[in-house]
Structure 1
Amino acid sequence: MIRKLKQIIGEYYPGFLYDETTSPLLWVFHKVLSRVQMTGEYIEDLRDLSRKGIVVHALKNSSQLNALILWNISKREGITRPVYCHGINMILWQPFTKALRSLLSLFFYNPYKRKFLKEITKQKQTSVIYLRGSEFIGSNYEKDPLLELISAQKELDVPIYLVPQLVTYGRRREKKDKTLIDLLFGEVENPGALRRIINFARFSKMAFVISAEPVNLKEYLDKQRGSSLSPGTVAYLLRRKLIEQIDEEKKAIVGPVLKSREEIIEIVLRDPQLVTFMKDMSDQENKTYDDIFKQSKKYLYEIASDYNEAYIGIWNKVLTWLWNDIYDGVVVDKEGLARMRNVAKKMPFVVVPCHRSHIDYLFLSYVFYHNNIQLPFIAAGTNLLFWPMGHIFRKSGAFFLRRTFRNDILYGHVFSQYIKVVMQEGFPIEFFIEGGRSRTGKMVMPKYGLLSMVIQAYREGACDNLAVIPVYIGYDTVIEEKSYLKEIGGGKKELEKTSSLFKSRKVLRKRYGSVYMNVGEPILLKDYLRSHDLPMEEMSMAERQSFYRKMGYEIVGEINKISVVSPISLVAAGLLCHYRRGISHDDLMSLLDEFYDYLAHRKVRFAATFANKEKALIEALNRFESLGQITRMGPEEDEDDELAETIYSVEDDKRMSLEYYKNNILHFFVPLSFVANSILSTTDDDIPLSKIVEDYSYFKRLFRHEFIFDDTVDDMEEVNNILSYIHDKGMIVGHDIDGEAWIEVKGRGRTLLVPYGGLIHNYIESYWIAMRGTAYLKDKKRQEKDLVKRIQKLGAKMYKKGEISKAEALSRLNFQNAVKFLTEAEILKPEGDEEDSRKDARTFSLTDDKALMESLRHRLFKFM
């Protein structure tokens, strides 16, 4: 009787999963489940694993919902579907008749005693297991699934792939303080069934699945062969490994447990180092400790972030709409982001992007959010503390620092201690090493303040290791273009304020092309410091400053290296490098081909649109024309074919706009531009190599405040690399004269070098104008602001007279950098504090060394 009943009922288990067409509840929930995303790389990995072996999905905690999500994604993406969930009761999701049989079958069959997981795995079926805990009662017969899988693997030729799976609903950080809801419905880390369903209902559109590194069980057991470990111990170690991998993935996404702002402030104020400093300061300045303490607390309330997940969700919706409305595309470095995620699993990290626009703050966090990387705490200037944006930025993870605090020692110590505590807590930090936004489109020389604080915090034990990650962000068009041009032209910088928000509505009426992001190689601080012979503890102050400078330049050098060449930037370079009023379409395309070949030789990163190069360049030209930045003159209808051609020209008042985008990629051309200008500075075709190297070194000194140079490559090596390239292009040949290396310019070599030289000619002209402008100091000292203003007016006169050819040479920022060079060259004698933000803080007078002055003027003039 019982045997016959067993045969009628059959062997069915609560863990079985069936097609949703036979399950009413699955059919109803299919649309909701289909919202959960898994990125393409993980899907491809699962497909590949399914072809090579048997996939077993491993969840950290038991969950019907998470098992259904894995099943739904597998069905949706054409991956081998799990047919069985070990230890997870799926009766609710089974067809009625099969659910009834599963219930009745439990009287006769026990999946754990029968080792059903082992049997179904030997049949090469995919399954789902969980690694700890159960949300259901009545699992008395439950056995370790890993023991069954280990046993199955020993009887299989193909490997079993255990894939740790993290299913997460949104990006909410776990908070330190537990609420009543946590106690009743389970914590965020391990929610109860009801809380999980509520979370999924609220955040299903933000839910996603991440696969951690799979474990090849065959290889894992092979490594254990010969050891004295029992199967139970092997299973325990394997479980711990899988759980650690899931936890690492979660840490990479949401970060560590979040303490409140008040708690972070309290930790900073109670730090022994800061307490000692405050006590010493109260003694030295004859103030009470309470007064110093209150001032420190006031500073911290100005500085500290107040991260709130709700604001992140709002930003996500706003920015998704904004990007779609103003940008044509967002192009991100997926491989670089994957490297960053791997780093985030192992250690805290600091993101150091270039700074081109206020959009940078928003864009980077948005990319991290959508690529499952924990959001950083962002260093922002106090200029962004205006209402209401200051409040919103603070709630979104921003912390604030003053432009300078050299004269406020207490503020500096408090801020440094805040950085240290943020790092101790394991939160990533983002700061812009250039200090402010680049108004020129090229990298600004690095500032070392925040970098030195981060390194100091690491040295004081804030974390075991730290990754510093350079990031490039670039735009086809920056939304602040007009304000940048105004500042470069000598206009006053506009302060950020609430009224600017209303003006920004104009931004929404335009399209700004594409945005690009690339990730550089992480600098692991432990290894980086170890590679230096002298420990930082033994460095003098001067040696430390040199160390910070070296690291700062390596970071900005890496950002330059990973920057993207876009069609916009390449076309801008082609339109500005020649010396005529206009250029024909054919000549421009030929020139851009030359530039493209050189960049390809340097193995730079091109925008994806270069897959169809001609189309991309034409679209860039059309964009410039539609914005009124260039003028196109086409052939007349009845014009002779010999005369019919299209001409492009750039009006004087538009050249500075194109200069910004040319500067985005100028650093790639700088070495060749230096060599080209050296060759073009003489009419002789035979030129000694020593002359070119000498000129190259001179340009590096002259433009040390303009361009980032690679100090790991000496000048001779760099020059030889350039000469090798132009030799292969047929522009020069090399030969010896009396044992000395010379080059000879051949054929059209000089003509072909002119555009390369022209790329930096506006900088040469800017410095020549500044050199001429030192005449304003013959009779009296002048304040820096007044001197630069007079130099700019002189430049305008020289341009009108035809003494200089490039309107973009009239850049206030170029003149400021030229003043720095002339000061270092001891042509100008400064008085006052260079670091003082007030432009009237320093005055300049002229050197008495007339010979030095004349020598520099003569040297520079030969490149004009």
Structure 2
Amino acid sequence: MAAVRRIRELARTTLPRAVGERLPAAPPQEVGELLGDERFQRAVADAAAEQGRDEAEVWSEVEGYLHEMSAAHDDRTAQGWARMGDWFLRAYDVLVDEDDMQQLRKLDRSHSLALAFSHRSYLDGMVIPNALMARRFSPTYTFGGANLNLPLIGSVASRTGLIFIRRATQEIPVYRLALRSYIRQMVTNKRNMAWSIEGGRTRTGKLRPPVHGILKYLTDTVESRGDGDEAPDVQVVPVSVVYDQLHEVSLMTEEARGASKTPEDWRWLVRFARLQRNRLGRAYLTVGEPFSLRERMDELAAEGVTGHQAVERVALDISHRLNRATPVTTTAIVSLALLGADRALTVDEVLDTVEPLAAYIDARRWPVAGAADLRDRSTIRRALSELTRSGVLTAYDGGTEPVWKIGDDQHLVAAFYRNTVIHILVERAIGELALLTVSELEPGAELPPGGELQVGWEEAKRMRDLLKFEFFFPSRAEFEDDLRTELRLMAGDEVTEMTPVRARELLVNARPHLAHLVLRPFLDAYLVVADRLADRGDGPVDEDDLLADSLAVGQQWALQRRVASAESVSLELFRTALALARHKGLLEAGDGVGSAREAFAAELRDSVRRVGIIGEIAGEPVQVVPPPVRQSQDHL
């Protein structure tokens, strides 16, 4: 009951008006301006005519939507809300890159900021506003799901700049008109806005594919020209928030195994608040490289990229910058080491695994959260202890020295933390597979123009296409540049020629080896789905049935050690595999599709085989029983 009392007390002290009142007596500035704006009035009239409806009826509807989504900034309420945010964040010390924030504050003085943030926790909506408010930024308006508009709390939040919006609006064109116009007015008034580019919390720890709704309305705004006025501009600011650990990860991993999502209500809020009593380390807020949205849209238009394609490109730009701004946490690196071993390790064995990773991170100049020294014994020991205290690891100290391993049913939790850093490792992992492919070339094999080196490039591109629904890759040209950087790090110099012997030599001597640590869980999950898909021959596919079948067979394979780790048995990974299969046209029934499905499974089986070889080269062979080859594949 203490959490309930605390939430109610904080809500009452931040709400100066009647508790049940949803809106201020007068409409917020943007709503009042819109209702009197001739351009908006014409848009409403056009919408009524297009839908064949009475204009007064549409006006009534649009006014209701505007009041529903409108938000204001009340100083007293905002201060009380910040105190509530601090209380919810009591499990963490929040670290902010002050140099980046100082530069951003200069930008805030003259521009409207569109803060696109990564979304790993419900706490993100408290970390970001509190950090900005403490540094005297202009008030920020944050978009949140209408599912979080709880009684009492929603009334308070709407007076602190929280804009509650509906998720499913495809069948509500008047709502979309209201939201688009509201955002345009916010930009015109140089308001700062924040929203999750992912649309919702990640279930895996890495960025989800971006959603385009808010971004589409922002691009419409900066491209609009009307009444002789120049369209307003915004500075898009990627903002990354990452945590040492999160209380809510265990609930998200249960959903990944098929559990139903807990609805957001007062009981959920109280449970969430109670969880924060236990300390979990630090939260890190970092800022990516800002850019002018109007200038970026102009650049894309000059390249012939317009409309939805341009919005997609900008969304990917934001996602890339978010990944580059996200620091490496000690928790992520320790999780990577223990997941890769999938057995108990001493602290020395963890350090032995982490040392080449730390050297690689230094060489690539990736930021490390809190400037931690990943080679430091006490830093690694503290991370092991914290993960043990939260139940992710188990420790045994009855022998000659303590050892740690992933706890039972905790592989998906550890994978969540590892995945916060996986984006910086995936291209190196693909580069290893490219070298392995060259090393396996038979003498006298027919080669494409460009020889053995081109074989490696083609293999890297194939893996990029195989994993393109899982990771955010740069353009093909930038991808090749990154691979050349990785090859230069392994070889110590530029590589212009390649032979199978040279490829094998580079691969054997490379440190660290990452393919088995980074790619194996995803490829195993994809193989489960591909195998179940191939089992359906040329027949139709019910996607829900296929996912359920994949969960059941994935669990069987995990017990049989036909997949390397239980983390591959995840609905989130299976859904991505399903998206890839859909993209390849493998979900539609028809003559010949069965053979294509078999070929897809064979491709994944071979990819898993080669990742296993990388593990053997690294000296960490994964004891896995290969999935049986289907009899119908004998001709392949």
Normalised by the size of structure 2, how large is the TM-score? 0.84
> Kindly tell me: are residues 781 and 433 of structure 1, through their superposed partners in 2, closer, same or farther at Cα, counting changes over 3 Å?
same
SS in structure 2 at match of 1:582: coil
Task: Give the C-alpha shift of residue 825 in structure 1.
Answer: 1.0
Q: 1:859 aligns with which of 600, 603, 615?
A: 603
Q: Partner residue of 2:137? A: 373
Q: Deviations over 1:679-726 (max 9, x none)?
A: 456874999333332221112111111111111744433322212212
Q: Deviations over 1:770-805 (max 9, x none)?
A: 101114544854432232121111111111222111
- The one-letter amino acid paired with 2:357 is F
CA contact (8 A) 1:348 1:463 kept: no
Q: 1:819 aligns with which of 547, 556, 578?
A: 578
CA contact (8 A) 1:652 1:807 kept: no
Q: 2:291 aligns with which of 508, 523, 537?
A: 523
> Kindly tell me: are residues 286 and 527 of structure 1, through their superposed partners in 2, closer, same or farther at Cα, counting changes over 3 Å?
closer
Task: Give the C-alpha shift of residue 745 in structure 1.
Answer: 2.3
CA contact (8 A) 2:113 2:237 kept: yes
CA contact (8 A) 1:635 1:645 kept: yes
Q: What's the % identity of the aligned pairs?
A: 18
Q: Partner residue of 2:386? A: 623
Match runs of 1:282-681 below 5 Å: 282-323=48-89, 325-327=90-92, 329-460=93-224, 464-534=232-302, 543-578=306-341, 580-608=342-370, 610-611=372-373, 613-634=376-397, 636=399, 644=400, 646-680=402-436
CA contact (8 A) 1:676 1:757 kept: no
CA contact (8 A) 2:143 2:162 kept: yes
- The one-letter amino acid paired with 2:61 is Q
621-630 or 820-829, larger mean C-alpha shift = 621-630
Q: Distance in 2 between matches of 1:448 and 1:285?
A: 25
Task: Give the C-alpha shift of residue 671 in structure 1.
Answer: 0.5
SS in structure 2 at match of 1:798: helix
Normalised by the size of structure 1, how large is the TM-score? 0.63
Q: Distance in 1 between matches of 2:38 and 2:536?
A: 53
Which structure has the higher relative contact order (CA within 8 Å, separation 6+)?
A: 2
Q: Partner residue of 1:181? A: none
Q: Deviations over 1:341-376 (max 9, x none)?
A: 111111211111111111111110100011111121
CA contact (8 A) 1:423 1:462 kept: no
> Kindly tell me: are residues 759 and 263 of structure 1, through their superposed partners in 2, closer, same or farther at Cα, counting changes over 3 Å?
closer
Q: Partner residue of 1:768? A: 527
CA contact (8 A) 1:734 1:743 kept: no
Q: Distance in 2 between matches of 1:632 and 1:751?
A: 31
Match runs of 1:31-180 below 5 Å: none
Unaligned runs of 5+ in 1: 1-257, 637-643, 830-844
- The one-letter amino acid paired with 2:271 is K
Task: Give the C-alpha shift of residue 303 in structure 1.
Answer: 1.1
Q: 2:483 aligns with which of 713, 719, 744?
A: 719
Q: Partner residue of 2:516? A: 757
Task: Give the C-alpha shift of residue 301 in structure 1.
Answer: 1.6
CA contact (8 A) 2:411 2:567 kept: yes
Matched, 1:807 2:573: no
> Kindly tell me: are residues 777 and 300 of structure 1, through their superposed partners in 2, closer, same or farther at Cα, counting changes over 3 Å?
farther
Q: Distance in 2 between matches of 1:259 and 1:686?
A: 79
Q: Distance in 2 between matches of 1:467 and 1:859?
A: 43
Q: Distance in 2 between matches of 1:525 and 1:735?
A: 39
Q: Deviations over 1:33-83 (max 9, x none)?
A: xxxxxxxxxxxxxxxxxxxxxxxxxxxxxxxxxxxxxxxxxxxxxxxxxxx
Structure exhibiting the larger radius of gyration computed from Cα positions: 1
Match runs of 1:7-46 below 5 Å: none
Q: Deviations over 1:373-416 (max 9, x none)?
A: 11211111111112122212211111122112122211111110
Q: Partner residue of 2:505? A: 746
347-356 or 675-684, larger mean C-alpha shift = 675-684
CA contact (8 A) 2:438 2:453 kept: no
Task: Give the C-alpha shift of residue 459 in structure 1.
Answer: 2.2
309-318 or 429-438, larger mean C-alpha shift = 309-318
CA contact (8 A) 1:351 1:429 kept: yes
Size of the aligned set, in residue pairs, is 573
Q: Distance in 1 between matches of 2:506 and 2:321?
A: 37
Task: Give the C-alpha shift of residue 340 in structure 1.
Answer: 1.2
CA contact (8 A) 1:471 1:519 kept: yes
Q: Distance in 2 between matches of 1:395 and 1:650?
A: 44
- The one-letter amino acid paired with 1:592 is V
Q: Distance in 1 between matches of 2:524 and 2:61?
A: 50
CA contact (8 A) 1:674 1:757 kept: no
Task: Give the C-alpha shift of residue 595 in structure 1.
Answer: 0.6
- The one-letter amino acid paired with 1:773 is R
CA contact (8 A) 1:774 1:846 kept: no
Task: Give the C-alpha shift of residue 481 in structure 1.
Answer: 1.2
Match runs of 1:182-261 below 5 Å: 261=27
> Kindly tell me: are residues 671 and 616 of structure 1, through their superposed partners in 2, closer, same or farther at Cα, counting changes over 3 Å?
same
Unaligned runs of 5+ in 2: 1-23, 444-451, 609-636
364-373 or 694-703, larger mean C-alpha shift = 694-703
CA contact (8 A) 2:223 2:294 kept: no
- The one-letter amino acid paired with 2:508 is G
Matched, 1:277 2:40: no
- The one-letter amino acid paired with 1:314 is G
* Higher relative strand content: 1
